[in-house]
Amino acid sequence: MILEADLERKRRNFRVFNERGGKFRVAIVNVCNLNCFFCHNEAMVNPRRPGEDPNGKVGPVHISLDELLGIINAFTSLGGGQVNITGGEPLAHREIVRFLEDIDKRSTRVVLDTNVILADRLLNRPRIGNLDSIYASLHTTDGEIFRDQLGVGSISKVMANIVALKTHGYDVQINYSLGDYNKEEFGSVLKFAVRHGIDLKAITLVRPNEDPDFYRGAWIDPQWISAQIEATGARVVGSEDSLGGQTTTYAIGGMTVKVKNIARGRLETDFCSGCTYKEKCGEGIYGLRVGIDGLWKPCLLRHERFRSVTQEESYESQILTIIDEMIGSWENARFLTGVPA
């Protein structure tokens, strides 16, 4: 009876996680053709930052793409709501198409998080049916800002590829990460999105470490973004406190703009008890991460809570156990408000 009750609680918390918008983020590669200063790299050691302290982030083994596929399929078999395929840059993996096609997606929403520079790997073939949406990074339309802050490459190519992916039949959403360096660029990104009828989501930078220079200035509250959107005559069509922050949805013409404002709500659960980072992290309980470094990561900052993927226990059981720990007793959960320290 105790075991049955334990399993029922885990399944109940798994449902809460998914119903509240929790994300399962799977990093299939640890290389990228950009070097964005704010990239948390899914808590993997970032090879683009040779001086980064790997303490607490080094996995025991590098697990294979097929093992990650098995983990994703375990999540879908449980009825998981959404899996985000990430990296690094997932399109940099030569087997990305085969990988996406082999996912047993069932009712799970499959999303690809990408900078779209290598979009030809999707454009040179028929649309992949398993792929429900592409979340394309576009943090500026200014070529100089793009090169100086995010890495080499052409912002015009990024923008052209976003449009091309939509034309190819993919559902595309632009992800704009707000920081001090690009706060004046939101208007131009919004105009690009509206012009091409592409949904846009504005989010704030999420602290992956305690580097005092991480925000390159001050943390920017996206409330002023909402004011800019409302000044266009957009109307609010929805608002929810989901895992990761409060999200307000606006309708502009035939597309939507979502503003995720963690200052208006970020989830704290039993998992956060005693955490020294909870006033700083700016994320709260948001997503479970796993990657080629072979580690389950329930939180970006709490490296002591990382654990190894094991073959001694089913992937389904490991997923249920860790998400159960993340949610805890739901009656104790609360959404905190206010600017992260």
Annotate 191-241 with DSSP letters as a single string.
Answer: HHHHHHT-EEEEEE----S--TTTTSSSPPPTHHHHHHHHHTT-EEEEEEE
Instruction: Name the DSSP letter for residue 63.
Output: -
Q: What is the pLDDT of residues 253-299, one digit of tens each?
A: 889 999 999 888 888 999 998 888 877 777 888 999 999 999 999 99
Helix (H) or strand (E) holding 78: none
pLDDT tens-digit series, residues 167-209 = 999 999 999 999 999 999 999 999 999 999 999 999 988 877 7
Is residue 234 a contact partner of residue 223, using CB atoms and an 8 Å limit?
A: no
pLDDT of residue 210: 74
Element (H, E) at 31: none
Instruction: Report whether pLDDT(2) > 70.
Output: no
- CA–CA distance, 199 with 190 (Å, rounded to integer): 9
Least confident range of 36-45, 202-211, 241-250, 266-275 = 202-211
CA–CA distance from 262 to each of 219, 223, 266, 304 (Å)? 11, 10, 5, 24
With bands split at pLDDT 50, 70 and 90, how would you rate the model's confidence at 48? confident
**Residue among 58, 60, 83, 57 at smallest CA distance from 70:** 83
Asked whether residue 122 carries a pLDDT value surpassing 50, the answer given is yes
C-alpha separations of 292 from 5, 67, 121, 183 in Å: 33, 9, 21, 33
> How far out from the chain centre does Cα 163 lie?
21
- Cβ atoms of 170 and 122 closer than 8 Å: yes
In the numeric block, which tokens belong to residue 5?
């009750």
User: Using CA atoms, how far apart are residues 37 and 40, in angstroms rounded to an integer?
Assistant: 9
CA distance 221 to 261: 7
- Residue 169, classed as helix, strand or coil, is coil
Residue 49 has pLDDT above 80, yes or no: no
CB atoms within 10 A of CB 47: 13
- In sequence order, the β-bridge partners of residue 247 are 240, 260
pTM of the model: 0.95
Q: Are 198 and 189 in contact (CB under 8 A)?
A: no
Cα four-point dihedral sign 336, 288, 277, 327 = positive
Angle at CA of residue 241, ends 269 and 177, nearest 5°? 100
- The rounded distance, in Å, linking the Cα atoms of 249 and 72 is 29
Query: What's the N-to-C CA distance of the chain in angstroms?
Result: 44
3-class DSSP assignment, residue 178: strand
How far from chain centre, in Å, is Cα 167? 24
